[in-house]
Amino acid sequence: MREQYFKHRPAFDFNNFSNDIGRPFFWNKKVEDNHFLNRLYRKSEQGFDELYKYHLQFFLSEYDDATEQEFFRYVWEVIQDAIAQLRHKDRYTSGHARNFRYKFHLNQFKEYLQSIDEWNLGRTQAEIIAEKEGQIKILKEQVQRLMDERREAEKLDTDYPINIASGHFLTVVDLFKKIEALKVGDKELVFSQMPITWAKLICRYFQEDGEPIKLDRVRRYYPRDAGNPSGRSSSIPSENQNFNIVPAKRRAG
């Protein structure tokens, strides 16, 4: 155990807002834990982190071999001991209300310590096991959900993609672009928020002369902004625009 864990108040320092512990005049340095508690009682919950880190930085700078784990363990023990002592105070004394406030305040600080406890020093073995079991259960549920989603996605996979005759890749792309432009009344027949979806559809379910179609080959015909295409975008050459899609004639009733 170290001789000092907390930064002490300098002599004749009367600053009431300091994070330093102790008194401006003589005080017993061997009970610095009690003076830390006195400083803590004056801190709001919002000031817990500031107080803890202030004294942590002092401790780490004071000893070459100091670690936060050691400091945390010491502070945790101070808080645990103080809470235990307050629990055994006589309820029927004039100081009961004050002691109850102190106990409540210390429990709030204990919750703060638990939130930064990287070493599980403030939890029992049973609590750690329960948390791990809960995490394992959540991970198993996530794995099961992903496996179900994968099985559903695999139903859409095929070993027999649609084959495009050699040299007619752009003719098919042109047909898809014409389908994309069709309207029923004043509404689009089909619509995708992202044009790249059309390119992915072609790559996934079509081949040309038995060979896969790479996405980079298709995406140039589907710019993100059709009204303002980039320099890497291309339009379908007229010689590949071999078909038109026209509305069917309605039969007389």
User: What global pTM score does this model have?
Assistant: 0.54
How do the pLDDT tens digits run along the chain, 253 residues long? 888 999 998 888 888 788 998 888 888 888 999 999 999 999 999 999 999 999 999 999 999 999 999 999 999 999 999 999 998 887 888 888 888 999 999 999 999 999 999 898 877 778 778 888 888 999 999 999 999 998 988 888 888 899 999 999 999 999 999 999 899 888 999 998 888 999 999 999 999 999 999 999 999 999 887 777 777 888 899 999 999 998 888 766 5
The crossing angle, in degrees rounded to 10, of helices 48-62 and 68-87 is 130
Q: Which tens digits make up the pLDDT trace of 120-152? A: 887 777 877 888 888 899 999 999 999 999 898
Q: Which tens digits make up the pLDDT trace of 68-86? A: 999 999 999 999 999 999 9
Q: Which residues of 191-209 are buried (b: 16+ CB within 10 A; e: fewer)?
A: eeeebeebbeebbeebbbe
What pLDDT, on a 0 to 100 scale, did the predictor assign at position 252? 61
What pLDDT, on a 0 to 100 scale, did the predictor assign at position 130? 85
